[in-house]
Every structure is written in C-alpha cells, then in structure tokens.
Amino acid sequence: MSESTAAAAGKPPRPPDRPLGARPDAAAVARMLASPRCGARTRSGAPCRAPAVAGKVRCRKHGAAAGSGGQAGNRNARKDGFYSAAEKARRRRIMDFVRECNRVLDEFDKVDGKK
C-alpha cells in the first residue's frame, strides 16, 4: 500500500525506518503485549487473546468492528414477514380449518364403524 493509499484509507503512513515485513522492535512488542485483551469467551471457554479495539472492550471478531451486530430493532427476525401478526393469524386460520376437517372425518369414521 503506498503512502497516498494509506492516507486515503485513514491509516497512518508506515515509518520509513521499518521496511515491509520487518520484525517489530522490543518496544513495539511490549506495547502489543500490554494492550487490553478482548475478554470474550471462545467456544473452548478460554478468554479471547486478541487485542481489544481502541476505546472498546471487544476485539474486531467479537463485536467491536464497525457495522458488526444485528440491526436496530431486531429487523432480522421479521425479514420475510413470517412472524408478522397478519401471517400468524393466517396460519392460525388454516390450522383451525385443518383441525375442523380432521374432526369431521373422525365423526364419519365413527358413523361407518371403522374406529
């Protein structure tokens, strides 16, 4: 990434004394190790070892990244309208009709002596 591209992306330019791919010096390693950790629990139950995003409690993988998390108001749950009140009422009417049909069929079976 060139310096003009880094500036356009909002990242600070790379220091000229450290070439790309070079190992960090001891001071940089000490700063990295001293940074606050994420604190989220992994599937194994151990705490996440990734550094927390600046000004946040979690790392970028566990919810501190911009744009992470669900939409406001839980719009994900009603994406296709399956849980809307009108759709629930429609399904309820259909199931009531099916139950009534089954009840009538059971009465016919009783009259015919099949049960």
Give the up-direction half-sphere exposure of residue 88: CA atoms within 13 A in the CB hemisphere. 4
Whether residues 87 and 60 share a domain: the answer is no
Domain range enclosing 96 = 82-115
- Domain tally, the chain: 2
7 has a pLDDT exceeding 70: no
Give tens-digit pLDDT for 57-113.
Answer: 888 888 777 766 666 666 666 667 888 889 999 999 999 999 999 999 999 988 887
Residue 43 lies inside a defined structural domain of this protein: yes
Give tens-digit pLDDT for 10-44.
Answer: 677 666 676 777 788 888 888 888 889 888 888 89
pTM of the entire predicted model:
0.38
Residue 9 lies inside a defined structural domain of this protein: no
Residue 110 lies inside a defined structural domain of this protein: yes
Our measurement of the distance from residue 45's CA atom to the centroid of its chain's CA atoms, rounded to an integer in Å, reads: 19
Greater pLDDT, 45 or 69: 45
Instruction: In whole angstroms, give the CA distance from residue 115 to residue 30.
Output: 81
Q: How far apart are the first and last CA of the chain?
A: 80
Instruction: In whole angstroms, give the CA distance from residue 112 to residue 89.
Output: 35
Whether residues 86 and 111 share a domain: the answer is yes
Neighbours of 40 (CB within 10 A): 16
